[in-house]
Amino acid sequence: MTKSSEESPSRRTFMMVVIGLISAVIGVALAIPILGEVLSPLFKKRDIVWSKLGKVNDLANITPLTPKFIPVYFRVKEGWTVNTLPRQVMVVKDITGKFYFFSNQCTHLGCPLHWIPARQKFMCPCHGGMFNVLGKVVGGPPPRPLYVWVHKIENGTVLIQNKFVDNPKERGV
């Protein structure tokens, strides 16, 4: 019969080493698939799609320097589902007739902006960020001007992508 740990100190050491090694092997073998599974979203690409906003002709009639809130719906694949993401586009026409397609998310931490006509400003209800009608920060904590949706005009139709211009870290959306 093999010696017990009490009869032989070297046998005891051997057992302890084997116990330690086996624990490490099992721990690592379990940790690998768990880490892979948990970190799996890091390796997924975001689904980028185009969605119709409306006709350019209809937008031409809006009042200059007054935002018009128009919803868009993005159909994106996420995991095993196809999600519909409803988003607001704040269309602003400046005095030269140029269009801006802003997101209504505050650039601070993403709360939905309110348009306050009396002050002619976008106000953030969460942390007090303020933007003027052309998207410049005029008060509060936001670090950058309003996000602009990636957009294009094809055959008189405005198309919006679920992506912001000049937003390398993909904040918001």
Partner 1 sequence: MLKKIQNWFDERIGLTELINEFNGERIPRRGGWAYTFGSLLAFLFTVQVTTGIFLLFYYVPYFPMARNATYYIKHHVFLGNILLGIHLWAAFTMIFFLLVHMSRVYFSGAYKKPRELQWIVGMVLFSVVVVLGLTGYMLIGNENSWWTINVLTNVASHTPIIGGFLRIVVRGGTETSVLTMQHIFAVHVWLLPIVVILFIPIHLFLIRKTGHQGMALEYKNSKLPDDDINKWKHPDATVPFFPDQFYKDMIISLAVFAVVYILAVVYGAAIGPMYRPLALNFAPEADWYFLANEELLKYFPGHGLIIFSTFLVPTIGFAILFALPFIDRGHERSPFKRPAATVLGILFLLLLVYLTLIGGEPKAPATV
Contact residues for partner 1, defined by CB under 8 A: 1, 4-6, 12, 15-16, 18-19, 22-23, 25-26, 29-30, 32-40, 43, 79-81
CB 79 to partner 1: min, Å: 6
**Distance, CA of 59 to chain centre:** 27
The Cα angle at residue 135 between residues 53 and 139, in degrees rounded to 5: 145
If the CB atoms of residues 15 and 65 are measured against partner 1, the closer one turns out to be 15
Answer for the pair 134, 124: CB distance below 8 angstroms, yes or no.
Answer: no
Length of the chain: 173
CB 22 to partner 1: min, Å: 4
CB 90 to partner 1: min, Å: 34
If the CB atoms of residues 7 and 94 are measured against partner 1, the closer one turns out to be 7
CB 2 to partner 1: min, Å: 9
- Decide: helix, strand or coil at residue 65: coil
If the CB atoms of residues 32 and 153 are measured against partner 1, the closer one turns out to be 32
Token pair 């093999």 is found at 2
If the CB atoms of residues 78 and 94 are measured against partner 1, the closer one turns out to be 78
Helix, strand, coil percent values for the chain (each to nearest 5): 25, 35, 40
Element (H, E) at 152: strand 149-154
Answer for the pair 111, 117: CB distance below 8 angstroms, yes or no.
Answer: no
If the CB atoms of residues 38 and 95 are measured against partner 1, the closer one turns out to be 38
CB 16 to partner 1: min, Å: 5
Answer for the pair 135, 146: CB distance below 8 angstroms, yes or no.
Answer: yes
